Amino acid sequence: MQKMRLSRSNKKTILPIIMTALQTVTIWLVPMLFGHQLQTTIHHTVDNQILLILFVFMFNFLVFDRLTNKISSPIFLSMVGITIVIAALSFSRIAPTIGLLLFTSLATLIPFILPSKHNWTGWLSFVISVTFILPTALFYVQCGFLSASFLKILAVPLLANLFLFFPFFNLNFAYHTIFQLILGIISALGIVSLHLGTYGILGIGILMIAFLTEFFISQNQIRLCLATGLSLLFNLLFFL
């Protein structure tokens, strides 16, 4: 009995860290893969990249913790404070625009503090942050400029992430299965229109797997971890 309790406790502790690592790698890889296609060179120091990746890691952990473990408020607020300090440092060390982008991402945490049956705002702000805001900030740090073509190509990953993460922010939404299915169809159409081929077919397959897990896996934490891994795989396929 004691071993079972320890196992459950460890799983609750480890899963958010695993999801955080997967999502952080995804956000870091997307601009790097696109920048490699442009054959650009790094314009900022390694210190700036580490600072930004640390912010990304902390941001992801805080969101996934609210969706899973929900650590005590004092620890959570202390970690939020550290993340705010990192965002403030980016103003002077990187660029004021990057600092503003990071503070915009932090707005994702506000809906978790407010009591609400459905977290639509948190869902939208989280997906926009991990798909648009944070990859754009990293792209700027890695390449030294912003690219309109990079922002346009992020539209399909945005649709995919809206689809993948929707169930976990709106668990009590009566029509969430129908709504998620519509998002999946829109995402599939976006993939077909921009990335038709073997990778596109595999991307659609990833979305289908994510949709089917809702019927075969009952634990939300396991499904969320799987969705984070599928998001990484989807982005790898899309940007290769």
- Provide φ and ψ at 209, rounded to 5°: -60, -45
DSSP letters for 29-64? HHHHHHHHHHT----S-HHHHHHHHHHHHHHHHHHH
What confidence score (pLDDT) does residue 93 get?
Answer: 80
The 10 Å Cβ neighbour count of residue 171 is: 12
The per-residue b/e assignment along 35-67, b for 16 or more CB within 10 angstroms, e otherwise, is beeeeeeeebeeebbebbbebbbbbbbbbbbbb
**DSSP label at 35?**
H
Give the pLDDT confidence of 182-226 residue by residue, as tens digits. Answer: 988 998 888 888 766 777 888 889 999 999 998 888 888 999 999
Return the structure tokens found at 39.
């054959």
Global pTM value? 0.87
Residue 156's closest CA among 227, 207, 225? 207
Give the pLDDT confidence of 24-42 residue by residue, as tens digits. Answer: 999 999 988 887 776 665 5
Residue 208's closest CA among 238, 226, 188, 235? 188
What confidence score (pLDDT) does residue 115 get?
Answer: 60
**DSSP label at 53?**
H
Looking at residue 204, its amino acid is I
The least confident of 99-103, 136-140, 173-177 is 173-177
pLDDT at 60 over 90: yes
pLDDT at 1 over 50: no
Confidence of residue 44 (pLDDT cuts 50, 70, 90): low
pLDDT at 77 over 60: yes
